Amino acid sequence: MPSAIATAPSSAPSKAASSVSSAFDLYDPSEETVLLRQTVRRFVEREVEPQVLEHEREEKFNRALFKRLGELGLLGITVPEAHGGAGMDAVSAVVAHEELAASDPGLTLSYLAHAILFVNNFFRNANDEQRGRFLGPVISGEWVAGMGMTEAGAGTDVRAMTTVAERDGDRYRITGRKMWITNGTVGDGELGDIFLIYAKTGGQISTFVVEKGTPGFTLGQQIKDKLGTRSSPTAELVFDQCMVPASNRLGEEGDSLIHMMRNLELERLTLAGMSLGIARRSLEVMNRYAMEREAFGEPINRFGQIQRHIAESYAEFLAGRAMVYDIARRIDLGAPGHRMETDAAKLFTATMCKNVSDRAIQVLGGNGYVGEYVVERMWRAAKLMEIGGGTLEAHHKNIVRDLARDPSFYR
């Protein structure tokens, strides 16, 4: 475990951190997770919250703050300590995403793309030589990483991708375009540093590590004016006969579907963690506002219409949180086997956080419609949870298909 987490002071924590229970439970099952939650909450309070509105409004990626995630040991959170990571589990990954998203869903999305879509994915599927070459700079935050699977005409339907990689001696020639890539750019005209790229090799799909500066690899369209998570940069990646060493291929040709399955459960679980953070912050804001705002001579939380918004949000948040952490505690990062459950967790929490943030705006009225009160930003970010990392419709399809294979799921 990195020293930044292991040595964080447990006495006299900040006000935010002091709300974390010291008793081990479903949400903080060990001393390690209690300490992690305290550390991330302090970091959020002191460094994330003060900058979030500016970077969201200006659609700027805060690279210096992102590097601080590396200094805290969070960018390699699921990588074993022997390889320079924090050696933590799925519960810890959810904790980090919940706490960060309660303040800055944009920064959290970039964090997820780096720590889960690249780092965890890469570590689980790379060989030792590849780990030695690439892990250090991405775990430290020196490099900003991402993953390129989606294309303009291929999202949920992965097999429809048109990017191809053709073997040419000891290299591969990659041609194609990837769209909607988180961390595709880290500033105006500047590519992210390193990516896992999926491309077709014959009739199969293979995975390649592609670094910035590789000939034929350029930045395409930089996607601006997104509904939410605007501090997380999104871009198109262009590959025009991009020559990549064969030593940058992960595993064998055609192994990508295995790679995807190994990483999918943690990806969807951490996205569900983001939804928890968004919902929690929205609930906190609406509850506090309803206690302080008066109408007709009394606080608005005395009115039944407002009570319904707050009470239903609280109940749904508790249900989602229990669901996500219960699934997380049973996941073995090295052995997938909970796809149906992680699909269900993301399916439920995505819509839950959108509904909670929507109710928060309703409770705040006009104040909820402006940036100063946070909930409009949470509402904008919440919609992405129903689309990114698997649409609601994809989760419906997966769950029904898996239930048909195993109708005894409840026994």
Task: Convert the pLDDT of each residue in 34-70 to its tens digit.
Answer: 999 999 999 999 999 999 999 999 999 999 999 999 9
Quote the CA–CA distance of 381 and 120 in Å, as a whole number.
24
SS3 readout for 216-229: CEEEEEEECCCCCC
- The pLDDT of residue 157 is 84
Please list, in sequence order, all residues whose beta carbon lies within 8 angstroms of the beta carbon of residue 303, skipping any fewer than 6 positions away.
295
- The pLDDT of residue 4 is 56
Quote the CA–CA distance of 281 and 357 in Å, as a whole number.
9
Beta-bridge partner residues of 177: 238
Residue numbers annotated as active site = 267
Task: Convert the pLDDT of each residue in 95-133 to its tens digit.
Answer: 999 999 999 999 999 999 999 999 999 999 999 999 999
Say if residues 45 and 97 touch (Cβ distance below 8 Å).
no
Reference 55, options 99, 104, 21; nearest CA is: 104
Quote the CA–CA distance of 395 and 327 in Å, as a whole number.
16
- The pLDDT of residue 261 is 83
pLDDT of 16 strictly over 70? no
pTM of the full structure: 0.93
Q: How far is CA 106 from CA 23, 157, 202, 283, 329, in A?
A: 31, 26, 37, 19, 26
**Using CA atoms in the order 221, 222, 227, 233, what is the torsion angle rounded to 10 degrees?**
140
Please list, in sequence order, all residues whose beta carbon lies within 8 angstroms of the beta carbon of residue 146, skipping any fewer than 6 positions away.
113, 114, 117, 118, 181, 182, 183, 184, 192, 194, 195, 196
Evaluate the CA torsion angle 361, 362, 365, 366 in order and state its sign.
Answer: positive
Residue 29 banded pLDDT, cuts 50, 70, 90: confident
Quote the CA–CA distance of 291 and 298 in Å, as a whole number.
9
Task: Convert the pLDDT of each residue in 241-258 to its tens digit.
Answer: 999 999 999 999 999 988
Mean pLDDT, the chain, integer:
92
Q: Could you give the domains of the chain? A: 3-140 (1.10.540.10), 145-250 (2.40.110.10), 259-405 (1.20.140.10)
